[in-house]
Amino acid sequence: MSSDDYKIDIEVETRYVEEQSLPEQNHYVFTYTITIRNSGTVPAQLLRRHWVITDANNRVQEVRGEGVVGEQPHLKPGEHFRYTSGTMLETPVGSMRGAYHMIADNGVEFEAEIPVFTLAIPRTLH
């Protein structure tokens, strides 16, 4: 088995939720839609998540939990799982990164890194 056997690709789309945000109260709501794709050769299940959320004031929140949106998806090679969740920041710009803890059907546990992505209200960044 090689590291290519345990390959999880992650795509992220973000959205600022203006109708739920209160900028005058430093309350900025964002959603993120994640697509998790098993690009490896071994079926695997997502067990846990770990998020590091950082706002523009360098305030860091860490979130750990079982599964995602109440599910622990099992993905065969080539399959994907998509979900949408959200977070609130006290600043109009921030970032998220993290990892999914996976277990392959053969018992091997591994981490699928979630690359850093930006949360920003429109027209804030160039």
Cβ–Cβ under 8 Å, residues 10 and 83:
no
3-119 CATH, one of 3.40.50.10260, 2.40.50.140, 2.60.40.1470, 1.10.443.10:
2.60.40.1470
Q: Which pair of structure tokens corresponds to residue 30?
A: 């964002």
Q: Where are the chain's structural domains?
A: 3-119
Backbone torsions φ then ψ of 67, nearest 5 degrees: 55, -160
- For the chain, what is the radius of gyration of the CA atoms? 16
One digit per residue, pLDDT tens: the chain, 126 residues? 567 899 999 999 999 999 999 999 999 999 999 999 999 999 999 999 999 999 999 999 999 999 999 999 999 999 999 999 999 999 999 999 999 999 999 999 999 999 999 999 988 655
Q: Which pair of structure tokens corresponds to residue 2?
A: 């090689």
Structure confidence at residue 48 (pLDDT): 98
Backbone torsions φ then ψ of 108, nearest 5 degrees: -75, 125
- Alpha carbons within 13 angstroms on the beta-carbon side of residue 79 total 11
Question: What is the pTM for the complete model shown?
Answer: 0.92
Structure confidence at residue 123 (pLDDT): 80
DSSP 40-76: SSS-EEEEEEEEEEEETT--EEEEEEESBTTB--EE-
Structure confidence at residue 125 (pLDDT): 59
